Structure formats: structure tokens, C-alpha cells
Amino acid sequence: MKGIDVSSWQGIINWEKVKQQIDFAILRIGYGMYEFQKDGYFEKNFSECERLGIPVRNISL
């Protein structure tokens, strides 16, 4: 099984291309307890994984 661990550090991801190479994705939700610490790319990454049927695990650090 092969996965990818992503956050805002990876920027915009071409999920169509990535889907061919992975079995799952780990998405960072945020890095603290405050709203301003939310990962800015989480919503987009989550919706793309959901749209393409990529299984997701969410983490918050």
C-alpha cells in the first residue's frame, strides 16, 4: 500500500495525476487549537480526494 502525506507545504496538488500512484492520502487539518492555524489547503485537498474516491486519513498537529 502506498500513500501520500500532504499539507499546505505541498501547495496545489494535481490529484488526478496523484490518484494513479497512491492508495490513500493523509491530510493535515491544522497545526494548533486556533482557527488561524487551520491548514489552508485542507478543504481543497479533502474535496478532491472525496471527488476522486481516494481514501483519506485526517491529522491535526
Give the per-residue pLDDT at 57.
76
Query: Is the separation of the CB atoms in 26 and 5 below 8 Å?
Result: yes
Query: Is the separation of the CB atoms in 18 and 4 below 8 Å?
Result: yes
Average the pLDDT over 40-51 and give the result.
96
- Residue 38 C-alpha cell reads as 487551520
Q: Total structural domains in the chain?
A: 1
pLDDT at 61 over 60: no
What is the tens place of the pLDDT at every residue in 8-33?
A: 999 999 999 999 999 999 999 888 88
The span from the CA of 29 to the CA of 43, in Å, is: 8
Which residues touch 19 (CB under 8 Å, ≥6 apart)? Answer: 52, 54
Give the per-residue pLDDT at 32.
80
pTM, rounded to two decimals: 0.84
Read off φ and ψ for residue 47, nearest 5 degrees. -65, -35
Domain that holds residue 23: 3-60
Identity of residue 11:
G
